[in-house]
């Protein structure tokens, strides 16, 4: 039997899954959400995507999309958060997201779990991450979002990771010299959009009733 809705395997706190949920909400793409527990991944997920990461999207043509950025583009390629960017901005977008996903993510993991990486101090790893934060601050000094005066897919791809970085030591972050970045992050954390994507869903089990995401406003 073919699915009526694309199936979306998600994990609430995962920044990659968060960015995918942000694109789904912004572009109003409805999917069947299946909340995964990473230590207990469902066989249905591993069957379509043996690499075993979330998020994964299984569309109604049975295509498997197993990279969060590809899910964002699947959801939002015809929506203004992506459509409003011209070719040059899209090139820049991919470069910035790549920097987020590679060097900033590496610094974030080491900063967050500094005791597991004793070669350097927590402060050292934080400074590594700050190279990216400074770049973002510079961009936000020119405009409201990272690419333009509205938030685009690029902001949504990066916000969950900056949130994680800030949460490692909120006192440090909120007192650091990144006023635009603090505004940008706080605006996001206080938004209905954030509340919506952080809604708690129970672990999915085969046979459960379908949960649609984004949920209808009265649900
Ligand atoms: N490049 C992947 C990375 C996804 C990823 O690493 N997700 C983490 C959770 S945040 C995961 O599923 N890890 C597998 C595990 O911990 O078992 C993407 O962009 O979707």
Contact 45, 52 (CB under 8 A): yes
pLDDT per residue as tens digits for the range 175-203:
999 999 999 999 999 999 999 999 999 99
Indicate whether 165 and 93 sit together in one domain.
yes
For every residue of 170-217, DSSP letters joined together read HHHHHHSS-HHHHHHHHHHHTSHHHHHHT---PPP-TTPPP-EESPPT
Indicate whether 75 and 86 sit together in one domain.
no
pLDDT per residue as tens digits for the range 97-125:
999 999 999 999 999 999 999 999 999 99
* Atom number in ligand 1 closest to CA 56: 20
* Average pLDDT of the chain to the nearest whole number: 96
Question: What is the pLDDT averaged over residues 2-15?
Answer: 90
Question: Measured in angstroms, how far is the CA atom of residue 65 from the centroid of ligand 1?
Answer: 13
Look at residue 90 and tell me if it is in a domain: yes
Indicate whether 142 and 49 sit together in one domain.
no
Domain count across the chain = 2
pLDDT at 216: 73
Percent of the chain with pLDDT over 70: 97
Indicate whether 177 and 90 sit together in one domain.
yes
Q: Can you give the CATH number for the domain in which 50 is found? A: 3.40.30.10
Strand partners, 9: 34, 56
pLDDT per residue as tens digits for the range 110-163:
999 999 999 999 999 999 999 999 999 999 999 999 999 999 999 999 999 999
Q: Identify the domain containing residue 161 by its residue range.
A: 81-194
Look at residue 218 and tell me if it is in a domain: no
pLDDT at 218: 58
Contact 104, 132 (CB under 8 A): yes
pLDDT at 215: 87
Task: Give the pairing type, strands 56-58 and 64-65.
Answer: antiparallel
Indicate whether 100 and 66 sit together in one domain.
no
The rounded distance, in Å, linking the Cα atoms of 53 and 55 is: 6
> With bands split at pLDDT 50, 70 and 90, how would you rate the model's confidence at 219?
low
pLDDT at 217: 65
Question: What is the pLDDT averaged over residues 17-22?
Answer: 98
Indicate whether 207 and 134 sit together in one domain.
no
**Cis preceding linkage at 214, omega within 30:** yes
Indicate whether 104 and 188 sit together in one domain.
yes
* Atom 14, ligand 1: residue with shortest CA distance: 53
Indicate whether 63 and 96 sit together in one domain.
no
Q: Which residue has the higher pLDDT, 4 or 143?
A: 143
Indicate whether 104 and 187 sit together in one domain.
yes
Question: Measured in angstroms, how far is the CA atom of residue 152 from the centroid of ligand 1?
Answer: 23
The rounded distance, in Å, linking the Cα atoms of 25 and 116 is: 36
pLDDT per residue as tens digits for the range 22-31:
999 999 999 9
pLDDT at 2: 45
pTM of the model: 0.97
Q: Which residue in this structure is represented by tokens 């050292």?
A: 124
Look at residue 203 and tell me if it is in a domain: yes
* Atom number in ligand 1 closest to CA 13: 10
Indicate whether 63 and 104 sit together in one domain.
no
Look at residue 2 and tell me if it is in a domain: no
Pocket of ligand 1 (CB under 6 A): 11, 14, 16, 38, 52-55, 67-69
Q: Can you give the CATH number for the domain in which 139 is found? A: 1.20.1050.10
């Amino acid at each position: 039997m073919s699915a009526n809705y694309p199936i979306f395997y998600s994990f609430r706190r995962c920044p990659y899954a968060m960015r995918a949920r942000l694109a789904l909400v912004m572009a109003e793409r409805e999917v069947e959400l299946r909340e995964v527990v990473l230590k207990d991944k469902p066989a249905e997920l591993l069957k379509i995507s043996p690499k075993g990461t979330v998020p994964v999207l299984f569309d109604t043509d049975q295509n498997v999309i197993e990279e969060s950025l590809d899910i964002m583009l699947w959801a939002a390629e015809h929506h203004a958060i992506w459509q409003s960017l011209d070719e040059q901005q899209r090139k820049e977008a991919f470069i910035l997201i790549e920097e987020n996903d590679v060097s900033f993510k590496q610094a974030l993991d080491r900063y967050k779990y500094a005791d597991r990486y004793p070669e350097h101090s927590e402060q050292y790893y934080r400074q590594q991450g700050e190279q990216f934060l400074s770049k973002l601050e510079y961009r936000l000094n020119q405009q409201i979002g990272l690419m333009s005066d509205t938030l685009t897919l690029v902001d949504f791809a990066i916000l969950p990771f900056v949130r994680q970085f800030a949460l490692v030591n909120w006192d440090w972050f909120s007192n650091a010299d990144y006023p635009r970045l603090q505004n940008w992050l706080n605006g996001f954390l206080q938004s209905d959009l954030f509340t919506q994507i952080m809604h708690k869903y129970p672990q999915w089990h085969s046979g459960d009733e379908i949960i649609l995401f984004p949920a209808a406003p009265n649900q």
